[in-house]
Amino acid sequence: MGQDSGARASIRCFIGLPLPLGWQQGLDALAGRLAGRLASRLSWTRPDNWHVTLRFLGEVEEARLPGMCEALRGVDFAPFALCLGATGSFSLRGAPRTVWAGLSEGAEACARLARDVDRALVHCGFEAQARDFRPHVTLGRVKQAASGDDWEAVGRELAVELGGAAFGPALAGKFVLWRSILGPQGPKYLALSHFPARDHGGGPDGRKVPA
């Protein structure tokens, strides 16, 4: 957390939905199979790092964290189901840049939660989210695309895999404030605070939530 002399201490962080262990393991195995046959060079998301981002914050002064967490504790949402669905890539000048999986179930509830999180952050002094929210799980980032790879075929293969038994419906029962620690092997995420869903009576939900 050390900073230059005279600068305020800050950390890089984001807010998101964790994915269940079974999905994490399945995505790790899937990434390994694809990496073995693609000519393109990809930086796959590290095991245990897959998540759905609700709001990326970047560098935040540590002094703001208590107030931010207090505001986020006021976000009231009911648990909702998640299923992985359509895949695709965010492109730059026609070349694939980021390979991602969308949601076939839970996208609307996820968007509502993201709006509520954003509203809570605005109330404690953060700027509103500038970009349209698109719930997704980043599978990997294309560092160098090879012309021989058939990305449409990759998308079809991913869609079939993600619709399989290894990726059955999961319950989104909490969101998490994570710290992102950058390193030569990729970022490492450290959970700073958990914010559970609530039942219809307004109390903490007692059902099992993704780890």
pLDDT digits (tens, 9 = 90+) for 131-157: 889 899 999 998 888 888 888 888 888
For residue 173, count CB atoms less than 10 angstroms from its CB and return exposed for 0-12, middle for 13-18, buried for 19 or more: buried
Compute the Cα dihedral for 157, 163, 166, 172 and give only its sign: positive
Catalytic residue among 51, 123, 194, 200: 51
Which of 7-11, 95-99, 170-174, 184-188 is the most confident on average? 170-174
pLDDT digits (tens, 9 = 90+) for 5-58: 446 799 999 999 999 999 999 999 989 988 888 899 989 998 889 999 999 999
pLDDT at 200: 52
What secondary structure letter does DSSP report for 160? H
Task: Mark whether 51 is an active-site residue.
Answer: yes
At residue 6, the pLDDT reads 47
CATH topology of domain 10-193: Cyclic Phosphodiesterase; Chain: A, (3.90.1140)
170 burial via Cβ count (<10 Å: 0-12, 13-18, 19+): buried
Of residues 55 and 208, which shows the higher confidence score? 55
pLDDT in tens, 85-117: 878 765 545 567 888 898 999 999 999 999 999
Predicted structure pTM score: 0.85
Is 136 one of the catalytic residues?
A: yes
**pLDDT top residue among 187 and 201:** 187
